[in-house]
Amino acid sequence: MGAHDGAEYDCVVDQSGSGDYERIQAAIDDAKSFPPERIRILVTGGVYEEKVTVPAWNPEISLVGAPGEDVLITHDDHFDGVGRGRNSTFHTYTLKVRGNGFRARNLTVENDAGPDAGQAVALHVDADGVAFRDCRFLGNQDTVYVAGEGARQRFSECYIEGTTDFVFGSATAFFEDCTIHSKADSYITAAATPRDQPFGFVFADCTLTAAPDVSAAYLGRPWRDYAHVAFLRTEMGNHIRAEGWDNWSRPAAEETTTFAEYDSRGPGADGERVAWADRLSETAAKRYTAENVVGSVRRPADQWYVGGE
């Protein structure tokens, strides 16, 4: 094991060759399958041009960017480029996480395909008990795919940018103190919450920002029936449309979808929302806590030291 700034790591990824590996995927590939204890991987600063996968047989991995250094994982796959038929979107990821219990901190994950490339995923998460802190996710359409029926995922103090449906999927995902940045007049979320899942996407104490030329973004639209999205105590810029939500040209979805807000703030909170969206009461909003939404995924802030848990 090696130490860095007082924290212990199982291995170090360093492009210069001074660590144990020069590529992130090499460190993950060499990690013990189904380990008895968490495996902590430190990544030193630099641009890592690679497509990274954390397999299901590699749970309990912490991937941590060195403190004070910029770590960028970037790739440019996109829908037309991968050529995998109608489901090509799901092959475009830069980072794909399937190992339960994954933790990440101080990383930037980017899909660099460009604004005209169509669907191009930066982060694809299909695992339970996953948490990201102080991370940045950069892309355009479909930047962050949170997947897995029953999977619980948590994002704390993260930055997510995109154009269309740039937070989408069927997982239960809790976003706290995050900045959500719209790069086009389009839709922020596209949830596909399963019918029997009590929560979908919850944004708590977040900030919604936009590029200077963006003036008409929706909070979300239902990718599938029973989509569930809630914004609590969120600062909304004036780029958010007064109606707030869209039914994706499916009026029937209005009967099953739960789109809700509580104590929205800022110029984007003004205006008359669609009649089928909910304005939560204080009592109803109390259901949307991190403990209720993601349960055991919650970790106290003082456990998010740079070395993981």
**Mean pLDDT (whole number) for 51-66:** 98
Determine the pLDDT at residue 301: 38
- Is domain 45-298 annotated with CATH 3.40.190.10? no
Q: How far is CA 197 from CA 11, 120, 151, in A?
A: 38, 27, 10
Q: State yes or no: pLDDT of 112 exceeds 80.
A: yes
Question: 112, 128, 142, 246: which is the annotated catalytic residue?
Answer: 142
Q: Does residue 205 carry a catalytic annotation?
A: no
Determine the pLDDT at residue 304: 41
Determine the pLDDT at residue 271: 87
Q: How far apart are CA 226 and CA 235, in angstroms?
A: 25
Distance of CA 162 to the CA centre of its chain: 11
Sole residue written with tokens 């958010």: 240
**Domain positions in the chain:** 45-298
Q: Does residue 30 carry a catalytic annotation?
A: no
Predicted confidence (pLDDT) per residue in 139-176, tens digit: 999 999 999 999 999 999 999 999 999 999 999 999 99
Q: How far apart are CA 306 and CA 233, in angstroms?
A: 28
Three-class SS of 63-76: EEECCCCCEEEEEC
Q: Which two tokens stand for residue 98?
A: 């399937």
Question: 10, 112, 165, 246: which is the annotated catalytic residue?
Answer: 165
Predicted confidence (pLDDT) per residue in 191-238, tens digit: 999 999 999 999 999 999 999 999 999 999 999 999 999 999 999 999
Determine the pLDDT at residue 57: 98
Determine the pLDDT at residue 127: 97
Work out the angle at residue 31's Cα, subtended by the Cα atoms of residues 25 and 33, and round it to the nearest 5 degrees: 120
Q: Is 98 helix (H, G, I), strand (E, B) or coil?
A: coil
- Write down the pTM of the prediction: 0.95
Predicted confidence (pLDDT) per residue in 100-111, tens digit: 999 999 999 999
Determine the pLDDT at residue 305: 39
Q: Which two tokens stand for residue 123?
A: 């982060």
Q: Is 100 helix (H, G, I), strand (E, B) or coil?
A: coil
Predicted confidence (pLDDT) per residue in 14-52, tens digit: 999 999 999 999 999 999 999 999 999 999 999 999 999
**Mean pLDDT (whole number) for 178-194:** 98
